[in-house]
Structure 1
Amino acid sequence: MNTTAINTEATNAIILTTGMFDLLKDQIRRKKLPHHNEVMLVEQLRNAKQVLRKDLPDNVVDINRSVQLADVESGEKFTYNFVAPDKAKPKHKTVSILSPIGLALIGYAEGTELSWEMDNGIRQYRIEQVTAM
């Protein structure tokens, strides 16, 4: 378990493993994102801090992590269990890290508020808790 604290608030940077950084760059290259999200992701990657998997803080959203999330506007709470795209199965209550919500949250730490374009418009979310699965 890694408890390393990396301060990203001053730079608004996300923290990603090198492999996840490359995977996200590929998503941009493939032009599979709504324009708002593509612009956001490009900016996030520009400021991203890349780390080795062993150095990724435990409170940062990544693959094989469970995330408790709150919709800031409605107050509704959700839990997502993020896995690799080929491992995502609704019957196991797992979601691909490359899903719209996964892309919105990847690399952010607990307590972060962010906006992302979903099917029902731009939503504002707060990451309540991140735990290993």
Structure 2
Amino acid sequence: MRAITGNDRKTKMRSAGQFPPITLTAIDHDRLSGLAEAIADTVPDVHDYLAAELDRAVVVSPGEIAPSVVTMNARVTFRDEVAGQERTVTLVYPQEADVAAGRVSVLTPIGAALIGVAEGQSITWFTRQGVAKTLAVLEVEHSHAGEGASAA
């Protein structure tokens, strides 16, 4: 089986209608844009996916982001629609990632899929092995207002 490229993923997801609208704060958008460029050569699949998400995102000021939207440092409960399993993670920058503690990097395929999605939305993403997964965001929690926008 051939590897699925970033362009293949975008084409498949657009044709499947699995691109829900996403919203990012201007601060998250700027920082994630820099991170995406930094990984272009080392992790091209995640770069392609994250860059596509950044391109299509609605960018707002930190005060305008809805509390139901996944931002950086948000605690997110989602359901794997294929396996039917629920999982709760905190979306973090790579240096803060700790899978055992439930801290998932935004530079992983699932982290890149979660950013900007709101409660009640579903999104299809692809594992590094090219397997399609669909997750539904069930709950988004922020420890305090603006955390996702101001985290460094």
Are residue 15 (structure 1) and residue 23 (structure 2) matched?
yes
**Secondary structure, counterpart of 1:19 in structure 2:** helix
Q: Which residue of 2 aligns with 1:97?
A: 106
What letter corresponds to residue 21 of structure 2 in structure 1? A
Are residue 107 (structure 1) and residue 124 (structure 2) matched?
no
Q: Deviations over 1:35-83 (max 9, x none)?
A: 7x72x54443333111122221111011121111111112111111122
Taking structure 1 as the reference length, the TM-score comes to: 0.75
What letter corresponds to residue 112 of structure 1 in structure 2? Q
What letter corresponds to residue 89 of structure 1 in structure 2? D
Give the C-alpha shift of residue 19 in structure 1. Answer: 2.3
**Secondary structure, counterpart of 1:34 in structure 2:** helix
**Secondary structure, counterpart of 1:69 in structure 2:** strand
Give the C-alpha shift of residue 88 in structure 1. Answer: 2.4
Q: Unaligned stretches of 5+ in structure 2?
A: 1-18, 144-152
Give distance in 2, aligned partners of 1:91 and 1:41: 23
Q: Which residue of 2 aligns with 1:82?
A: 91
Q: Is the 8 A contact 2:77 2:139 kept in 1?
A: yes
Give distance in 2, aligned partners of 1:92 and 1:41: 23
What letter corresponds to residue 125 of structure 2 in structure 1? W
Q: Which residue of 2 aligns with 1:3?
A: none
Give distance in 2, aligned partners of 1:89 and 1:43: 25
What letter corresponds to residue 76 of structure 2 in structure 1? V
Structure with greater helix percent: 2
Give distance in 1, aligned partners of 2:108 and 2:53: 17
**Secondary structure, counterpart of 2:28 in structure 1:** helix
Q: Which residue of 1 aligns with 2:45?
A: 34
- Among the aligned pairs, what percent are the same residue? 28
Give distance in 1, aligned partners of 2:101 and 2:127: 23
CA RMSD of aligned residues (A): 2.4
Q: When the two structures are aligned, how many residues end up with a matched partner?
A: 121
Q: Is the 8 A contact 1:69 1:127 kept in 2?
A: yes
Give the C-alpha shift of residue 129 in structure 1. Answer: 0.8
**Secondary structure, counterpart of 1:109 in structure 2:** coil
